[in-house]
Structure 1
């Protein structure tokens, strides 16, 4: 397959906010890979494009040539890949009322709901179509298992020469070249463990699989990492972590607990930050639903926090069960902040919130990205300025920091 374009499913994108404020749906990391990386690898695509919100297209451009368009919320599996590989140019693959894949000559021809010139092909098996933020951590263990098989196929682990590291079920542990593992316990009894290139697992760490540590990331000394956790590239993570996905370039390097949560890029958790993932009365957790403008029931007993890109938590910050924090917020202060913190909020505690002035936010974002060796360019700036504007109605205060 030469060219593929991953399109935002209109039924999914709003439900995946605040993460889709700053990325197409297919750029969400679940398992070891982003959804886009899964499809590109499995279909051996040479070129990859996106069809998403207009303000995101400068960073995530489409393709102006004939391409196979695939639903960007769709997590691939072997049967689905086979069905898509068999698809002809005059056909469209559907699952009930959801378009899965179809060929188009150019982006202007794309439609996700009405394709009269395409023969309908029904795909009946169960699919994984990402449509809720909490599915990211719910499905993460299974996706790690699938991605592990892809990334390790016909390859041999570099292993570790450290005599003080103990590995359970070593065949299910894959360590890339350049990784350093020291005096740690890696337990892959219940799922695989993937340790990426140029990573570091520091002394005293205890890790249970399924687990993925992506390239250039560090696990701090004495960390306790429970199953179904992904640490994306360029992260520093420590303390106690359970069933949580860090997209990448975020830090939670100190003590403190986080569980059943999703953390975007460029975030920082101050020392002893704690994220609650269960209510004391054991009732299902409700979280903010952007499509409804209010709180909705997840049906889950365990659900921590959804923390969007560029958000920072001060030392000792405590987040209540089911907290949602938007893009570019700086949360600090005593007590629990509200369970929905809008984008570009500054403050917390008894003093409440004011607006994080955009110019000061951009200065911070540039410094943070510089430290990680990434450029805060005009594409990044334009996206965040747009997010600042579209999220303005959620900031119900009138002060600016």
Structure 2
């Protein structure tokens, strides 16, 4: 069977700015991206039905018989079984949301059979869903990924660990004089990851492959550090997609950070308002601030955005793609893509040529290539947002 993960047109805009640079299913939540979860469950590779300007990087592969799956839906055993039982030209729905359908072409107009799915499942419908559901996804991914496997032993005599059965360490990971507390949730340490002396970790927690926790880092529950990241300071209930740095002191909480981002030393974000009221976030759907209905919400940061030392982000801040942020005082709570922000509402345009120069230099430091495809994506986002 040929599987294709599609961007739901009713959901994708609500997940901007993170979905400016990736299909919805490339969002990381728990240990893996949604794409990786589906490929693990289905035991096959998938392709993507996404925005035209992203399609060259994330191609679609059509056959005479396809199952299209909503890229905002996280898989589980019951859901996968229901999808695998779909007959030709049938659709699986929950309310008005299409979960999956089987068809020869990308088409959601009409189906011969409509099936209602009432089982448990997670659909990302707003930005805050990523960090509010991260803990439960860490636990679900941990059970599936570690089933039948044996963790590498903790051999460092100065490392303390609690509830060892809920700690899994992949091959090549290096841990020195740390505290791993899995009393209230599992801890997953990826391949070739490093935990330096004095780091303290509370589960549920994920450290992706080749990522590093610097000396004295404080990692609180429900946090995912994706692959190839460097982190320090205090991080709580946050998701870093990968290839991003927060190497110094400062607090990051109830946050989602895209790829290729960098936090300057002593940068902090607030995650609770002084009056304890519900937090509002900028919406790319309505172009105004909308009430999230939750009390704790910190920062959303799109890919390639960076901030200088001592940057202060207020509660419920949304930063777009390719922003350069600096200056004293609190930053505006919405910083549009390709903006230079010096802490005022008067943004200067971060010109595309300069932004691409920086992105190219950042990727080269990691042995990656910022090629014509990446340039095309950045130009499309620049044109869409400026």
Q: Which residue of structure 2 aligns with residue 212 of structure 1?
A: 206
Count of residue correspondences: 385
Superposed CA deviations along residues 93-142 of structure 1, whole A, max 9, x for unmatched, are: 1112221112222xxx2223x223x3111112243111100100000000
Structure 2 unaligned residues grouped into runs of 5+: none
Q: Residue 159 of structure 1 contacts residue 176 of structure 1 at CA under 8 Å; is this kept in 2?
A: no
The reply on whether 1:386 has 2:384 as its aligned counterpart is: no
Question: 1:87 Cα deviation (Å)?
Answer: 2.0
2:110 pairs with 109, 115, 124, which one? 115
Question: 1:91 Cα deviation (Å)?
Answer: 2.4
Q: Residue 186 of structure 2 contacts residue 205 of structure 2 at CA under 8 Å; is this kept in 1?
A: yes
Question: 1:201 Cα deviation (Å)?
Answer: 0.7
SS, match of residue 10 in structure 1: coil
Counting only pairs closer than 5 Å after superposition, residues 136-285 of structure 1 correspond to structure 2 as 136-285=130-279
Superposed CA deviations along residues 145-179 of structure 1, whole A, max 9, x for unmatched, are: 01111111111001221011111000000000000
Return the alpha-carbon distance in structure 2 between the equivalents of residues 18 and 273 of structure 1: 21
C-alpha change, 1:351 and 1:210, in structure 2 (3 Å) is closer
Return the alpha-carbon distance in structure 1 between the equivalents of residues 230 and 153 of structure 2: 21
Q: Which residue of structure 1 aligns with residue 21 of structure 2?
A: 22
Runs of 4+ in structure 1 over 3 Å off: none
Superposed CA deviations along residues 215-271 of structure 1, whole A, max 9, x for unmatched, are: 110011100000000000110011000000000000001000010000000000000
SS, match of residue 194 in structure 1: strand
Superposed CA deviations along residues 358-390 of structure 1, whole A, max 9, x for unmatched, are: 111101000111112221111111001100110
Question: 1:351 Cα deviation (Å)?
Answer: 8.6
Q: Residue 15 of structure 2 contacts residue 126 of structure 2 at CA under 8 Å; is this kept in 1?
A: yes
Q: Which residue of structure 1 aligns with residue 37 of structure 2?
A: 38
Which sits farther off after the overlay, 274-283 or 76-85? 76-85
Q: Which residue of structure 2 aligns with residue 84 of structure 1?
A: 83
Superposed CA deviations along residues 52-80 of structure 1, whole A, max 9, x for unmatched, are: 11000000011122321101000112211
Q: Which residue of structure 2 aligns with residue 353 of structure 1?
A: 347
Counting only pairs closer than 5 Å after superposition, residues 1-20 of structure 1 correspond to structure 2 as 2-20=1-19
Question: 1:86 Cα deviation (Å)?
Answer: 2.0
Return the alpha-carbon distance in structure 2 between the equivalents of residues 72 and 349 of structure 1: 36
Structure 1 unaligned residues grouped into runs of 5+: 393-401
CA RMSD in angstroms, aligned pairs only: 1.1
2:282 pairs with 276, 279, 288, which one? 288
Return the alpha-carbon distance in structure 2 between the equivalents of residues 350 and 289 of structure 1: 20
SS, match of residue 11 in structure 2: helix
SS, match of residue 301 in structure 1: coil
Q: Which residue of structure 2 aligns with residue 63 of structure 1?
A: 61
